[in-house]
Amino acid sequence: MKRFSQSLEVTIKRIDIRLPLPTYATSGSVGFDLLCREDTGIAPRTLGRIPANVIVQTPPGYMLLVTLRSSTPRRKGLLVPHGVGIIDQDYCGEGDEIMLQVYNFLDEAVTVQRGERIAQGMFVPIMQVNWNEVDEVGKGRGGFGSTGA
């Protein structure tokens, strides 16, 4: 059973062609797995960058959203310090390998092995806005957290 009615043609370059292209783990996966290009150590309580082995030309009208796999914090002790990574459409030249910024929240060093599935990517439709500035916007609902009061 085909779960998605559309597909997107995307240009991609692998840095190390011995590693496979990103793939979807199951027919229902919305994110494709990104692999670590080389053994990468991240010292305790520090930021590190993991090379994801690909340069991607994000199509017009889309952004590439990158985040860790759900098992990565539990298995590796790593988090994305800013929640998600957003890959802009113009980040696609030679030298623009996707790098996953991570924070090691453990008290010991972590090593991500070459070829290990560490993150996932998703293409998300986007649009730019034209602002229509006004002096007033009307009555609010009561502020941050007001729906639970």
Model-wide pTM > 0.95: no
Two structure tokens written together for 6: 């559309």
Question: Phi and psi at residue 111, in whole multiples of 5°?
Answer: -115, 130
**Tens digits of per-residue pLDDT, 32-75?**
999 999 999 999 999 999 999 999 999 999 999 999 998 889 99
Sorted by where each starts, the structural domains of the chain and their CATH numbers stand as 11-126 (2.70.40.10)
**Tens digits of per-residue pLDDT, 70-124?**
888 999 999 999 889 999 999 999 999 999 999 999 999 999 999 999 999 999 9
Whether residue 68 contacts residue 75, with contact meaning beta carbons closer than 8 Å, is answered with no
Instruction: Round to whole Å and give the CA distance between 124 and 26.
Output: 19
What residues have CB less than 8 Å from 55, skipping those under 6 apart?
A: 12, 13, 15, 92, 93, 94, 96, 97, 98
Whether residue 100 contacts residue 38, with contact meaning beta carbons closer than 8 Å, is answered with no
Q: Are strands 62-68 and 85-87 parallel, antiparallel or unpaired?
A: antiparallel
Instruction: Round to whole Å and give the CA distance between 59 and 24.
Output: 19
3-state class of 132 per DSSP? coil
